């Protein structure tokens, strides 16, 4: 007598295959950006570079079409956050649109710096759609203090 196939074998194979695909996708996303470095709507539209120069870290972010008033950056510990938000200016005053999207564009990026920086010396400029943030490194010993051991 021939044995019957388990009707759930196909479902089990399907779930195993889906699980592998999700794991591969998660690994590739994390490998490209690092955990949590890229999030929010429009995050794919901005590229971020981090360079280690002799006495400073330099972060450059592509922000085409954004003005300095549209951008915000802040430092929390050794993590730099860069956000941008702008409204698209409607040049056409007609009200005959059936559907109109992309009224608001925004992005959020964060990057963990490889070392401590002097928060008072940070400079940020926007030029030709590129945001450049210069973060001076702290010299060894700066910002630290001796701890008395009893």
CB-side exposure of 54: number of CA atoms within 13 Å?
0
User: Going along 5-149, which residue ranges are E strands?
Assistant: 38-39, 48-52, 56-62, 71-76, 79-87, 104-112, 123-127, 130-136
Q: Which two tokens stand for residue 52?
A: 């280690």
Selecting from 3.40.50.880, 2.40.37.10, 2.60.40.790, 3.30.1330.10, what CATH number does the domain 40-89+103-140 have? 2.60.40.790
Burial class (CB in 10 A: 0-12, 13-18, 19+), 48: buried
What pLDDT is recorded for position 131?
94
Q: Which residues pair with 48 in a beta bridge?
A: 61
Tell me: the pLDDT tens digits for 39-53? 444 444 588 999 999
* Higher local confidence (pLDDT), 41 or 69: 69
Q: Where along the chain do its domains lie?
A: 10-34, 40-89+103-140
Confidence of residue 20 (pLDDT cuts 50, 70, 90): confident
Helix (H) or strand (E) holding 81: strand 79-87
């Amino acid at each position: 007598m021939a044995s019957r196939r388990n009707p759930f074998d196909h479902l089990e194979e399907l779930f195993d295959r889906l699980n592998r695909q999700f794991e591969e996708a998660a690994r590739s996303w994390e490998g490209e950006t690092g955990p949590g470095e890229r999030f929010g709507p429009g995050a794919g539209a901005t590229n971020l570079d981090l360079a280690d120069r002799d006495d400073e870290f330099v972060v450059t972010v592509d922000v085409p079409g954004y003005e300095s008033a549209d951008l915000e950056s802040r430092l929390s510990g050794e993590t730099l956050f860069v956000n941008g938000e702008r409204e698209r200016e409607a040049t056409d005053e007609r009200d005959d649109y059936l559907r109109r999207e992309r009224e608001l564009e925004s992005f959020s990026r964060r990057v963990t710096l490889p070392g401590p920086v002097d928060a008072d010396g940070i400079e940020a400029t926007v030029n030709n759609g590129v945001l450049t943030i210069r973060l001076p490194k702290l010299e060894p010993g700066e910002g630290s203090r001796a701890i008395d051991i009893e």
